[in-house]
Amino acid sequence: MGLIETVRALACNKDITYTGHAMNQLLTRGISTETVEKILQDNNNQLIEVQSKSHTPGRQHANDRLLVYSPEDEHDVIVISIIQENPDSEIRVITAEYVDENIWSRLNGQNPCLVRKNGCN
């Protein structure tokens, strides 16, 4: 099973938790947990980017971050999460954000349908 299929399966089983940061960002941005879960469960969602583990000060994270987007969802939201295993697998939502046209280019009909513009980290 690939990463995106694992995300879908865990989401459909409701194996989802949210960091405190994620909950604050969702409230600030007006994004509901229902929207996040719908995107993670969508059979047409896409893994648009995997951010490898990082030891960079201020940007450290111990797990690969998965950026998931559903081109068919009306909310135009990217969900940033990890798959955490302790001891059972779960999706841990780090944050969610609206697509920023200054950062992402749209590639309609392709997978991934969003790619990061050059120079945007």
The model's pLDDT over 65-88, given as tens digits with 9 standing for 90+, comes to 999 999 999 999 999 999 988 778
Dump pLDDT digits (tens) for 14-63.
999 999 999 999 999 999 999 999 999 999 999 999 987 766 676 666 68
Under a CB-based contact definition with an 8 Å cutoff, are residues 79 and 93 in contact? yes
CA distance 34 to 8: 14
Count of CB atoms within 10 A of residue 16's CB?
A: 20
